[in-house]
Amino acid sequence: MVRILVLLLSATLVLSACATPPSQVGTDGRPLPKIYKIRSGDTAEIQFRMLDSVNSLRQAGGRSPVKLDAKLNAAAATHSRDMSVQNRPWHFGSDGSSPIDRVARVGYPGTLVGENISETFETELETLAAWMDQPHTRAVILDPAARDMGFAWLQEKNGKIWWTLVMGR
């Protein structure tokens, strides 16, 4: 009797090991998000990966390339931090500042072309793809007047990322 019980238990364990893992797809049929963890030393790599991707899209659209601008990066970083504090993605700062105000505050000598923002757990390239899917954010990325780009983010401990892309001329 004990021998049969051990055999049944062993068979149950073997069969349970053969079971398929739980689905990694959400109810909408899309893959469940994974936390994209950004390390402190990844800043330059992420910014240049975004710059290269934006310039590839701009080239495909017949636009001239943009270059990273430290002042626009600072304006983008300030806004990403502020959106996190406010816990909402929108273009106005907690002090009422607009994207134009933030670009002026950092001493950018040109003018603002546009700003894209996002609150997500996705990578910068997934975020860029989402921006390209929307006409108004796509227009900012492909604006023929743009010559400079700023790109920054703030990642919270829970993994949520507040992305900001600023285009200037």
Look at the pTM and tell me if it is higher than 0.85.
Answer: no
C-alpha 55/C-alpha 86 separation (Å) is 31
Reduced 3-state DSSP string for 87-133: CCCCCCCCCCCCHHHHHHHCCCCCCEEEEEEEEECCCHHHHHHHHHC
Rounded mean pLDDT for each run of 10 residues along the chain, 169 residues in total: 54 51 69 75 94 98 98 98 93 93 97 97 95 98 98 95 97
pLDDT at 20: 47
Q: Enumerate domains of the chain plus CATH numbers.
A: 42-168 (3.40.33.10)
pLDDT at 22: 52
- Strands 112-120 and 161-168, sheet pairing: antiparallel
- For residue 143, the SS3 value is coil
C-alpha 33/C-alpha 120 separation (Å) is 10
C-alpha 63/C-alpha 13 separation (Å) is 60
pLDDT at 54: 98
pLDDT at 9: 53
pLDDT at 12: 53
Q: Do residues 133 and 125 touch, judged by C-beta distance below 8 A? A: no
- For residue 62, the SS3 value is coil
Q: Do residues 167 and 114 touch, judged by C-beta distance below 8 A? A: yes
pLDDT at 18: 53
C-alpha 70/C-alpha 103 separation (Å) is 11
